[in-house]
Structure 1
């Protein structure tokens, strides 16, 4: 049996990541000629070109695009296997790339990462906050936290908890416009849209009745925190997760409504690349996050207790 050219596959993954032969060569400590020869060797073995090359641009071919994902997995699994062997005899150390939604990352994830880093001084974390859905394999993330109902995928996903959603408004808005007693009455109100949870607002009552309402109003944002000023100054009603509105409800600045009608909880999931091989530092952070994110809203209250 002819063994695969694993070195060429790893070099191919590096060229894709750095978008140039010279960038890959610098990153992995090889000459540009060695990188070029490895790609040529792999292309000859596969019988197809992997890149379109011009003097100014390097782009994957149609054949190269799906093979790039295979190359990333080959390289990631090899690195993980070597690191797992080394990490067994030492404390967790090295870099972890983490992706999380913007508001949730600020309020609930960043305090936990500070606590984790205090306990593991050999670890470095690169935290990427965005409400846009990231491709964790293509972008090289070790862990992604995602608040959504997940479609089927090749990623390894673990549901950590449900996140309660609250429909709320300021007392001033409710005094001026009235308090809805049934979700159907929301059509007469100004609704602030949270596009990170798209589509209609769904409600269910204890007796099994269900209602869906499509929000329409003066403001829609893809980050829930951006709706808070409009809520507080009485511009409308919003449906937002507890980690965003919980403190404002607790202070009385916002009032929950339709409490007999429950929006479905949104799941908080922890995603990792498909490979079961993970470095000890990543396993340690996964276990830490799974333990401490059972109640995400409690993390906000704990943030002042992070060791300095």
Structure 2
């Protein structure tokens, strides 16, 4: 028995109320439809369709079976569409929201490669450190560097974002170098105030976890600003390593408390929940994973 063909025949009979009409819609003879329904009923051991000379209607068991059959056929159709989409080239408009610093430092240099791979796609990239609403603001993909709260949105983790505690050599010479997280309470701190932990810093070492409420002199939602102010000797900053990297390499900043680590953040690609990702969204997220997923930033 061709179970799939039998399911399709059964659904059409229920929807049309007629073996003949189901046959016309499926381009099959009435006898072929009758044969499919008969085989289905025989395999299940129950009557699914109540037949009269003018009408065919589902029995109680048939109604239950119809509802499940609809779901099964919808899943098969969705699977077919997913495979078809996977072979299609992305096209149309892709709206992406990303943090300002990650966008300029990491994303900007690779966007041209993504555009080369997707010549039929228009990319609108909106860089902002404001927590824009992915749905309300109409973004297909939102990139966040964060400790994510639970959400109705789908989030795919792209890569960890390592953080470093750092300060300018001039600042350390004038105020001393912290040797323990508790020492930070005596220093001016430059903080990023939009994490779930608020302005608290959690630092972990061999002696356990330490929660520090720093005495901050600057709180801002852009880590490049924190870096630049730290370089000017205004305090101690806890910022993503990819933002501090060049200043650390040139000596403009020094990494401190290296025996302690802050919990890494992560880069997430966030998108509305759908049964199957659109081609353009899947291409973009797969591109990010390919470029960034195998290395820390």
Give SS of 1:95's match. strand
Q: Does the alignment pair 1:268 with 2:291?
A: no
- How far is the alpha carbon of 1:196 from its aligned partner? 3.2
Distance (whole Å) between structure 2 residues aligned to residue 88 and residue 129 of structure 1: 28
Q: For the structure 1 residues 276 and 206, does the alpha-carbon distance in structure 2 shift closer, same or farther, using more than 3 Å as the test?
A: farther
Instruction: Give TM-score scaled by structure 2 length.
Output: 0.68
Residue 217 of structure 1: CA displacement?
2.9
- Kindly state the Cα deviation for residue 103 of structure 1 after the two structures are TM-superposed: 0.9
- 2:55: which partner in 1? none
Seen in structure 2, the aligned counterparts of structure 1 residues 89 and 182 have a Cα distance that, compared at 3 Å, is closer
Structure 1 residue 134 displacement after superposition: 2.0
Distance in 2 (alpha carbons) for counterparts of 1:126 and 1:116:
13
Could you say what the CA RMSD is over the residues aligned between the two structures, in angstroms?
2.5
The 8 Å contact of residues 147 and 266 in structure 1, kept in 2 or not, is answered as yes
Distance, in Å, in 1 between the alignment partners of 2:217 and 2:238 is 14
| 2:228 corresponds to | 229
For residues 1-308 of structure 1, the aligned pairs below 5 Å read 87=85, 90-197=88-195, 198-207=198-207, 209-294=208-293, 295=295, 297=297
CA apart distance, 1:123: 1.2
Structure 1 residue ranges without an equivalent (≥5): 2-79, 298-308
Say whether the 8 Å CA contact 2:160–2:296 is kept in structure 1.
no
Deviations 1:79-127 (A, max 9, x none): x99x979856642221101111111111112222221002221111111
Structure 2 portions without partners, runs of 5+: 1-13, 15-77
Does the aligned pair in 2 maintain the 1:112–1:289 contact within 8 Å?
no
Moved more, 94-103 or 195-204: 195-204
Cα deviation for residue 193 of structure 1 reads 1.3
Closer, same or farther: CA 122–86 of 1 in aligned 2, 3 Å: farther
Who is 1:67 aligned against? Answer: none
* Residues 89, 146 of structure 1: alpha-carbon distance in 2 compared, 3 angstrom cutoff: closer
1:218–1:105: structure 2 CA closer, same or farther, 3 Å change rule?
same
Partners in 2 of 1:88 and 1:140 — Cα distance? 23
Change (3 A) 1:88 1:274: closer
Q: TM-score, normalised by structure 1?
A: 0.66
Change (3 A) 1:160 1:85: closer
Other structure's SS at 1:276 match: coil
Work out the CA distance in 2 between the residues paired with 1:245 and 1:195. 18
Aligned to 1:39: none
* 1:171-196 deviation digits (Å, cap 9, x = unpaired): 11111111000010011111111123
Cα deviation for residue 142 of structure 1 reads 1.0
For the 8 Å contact 1:190–1:218, the answer to whether it is kept is yes
* Structure 2 contact 203–211 (Cα < 8 Å) conserved: yes
How many angstroms apart in 2 are the aligned matches of 1:129 and 1:196? Answer: 16
The Cα shift of 1:268 comes to 1.5
Give 1:18's aligned residue. none
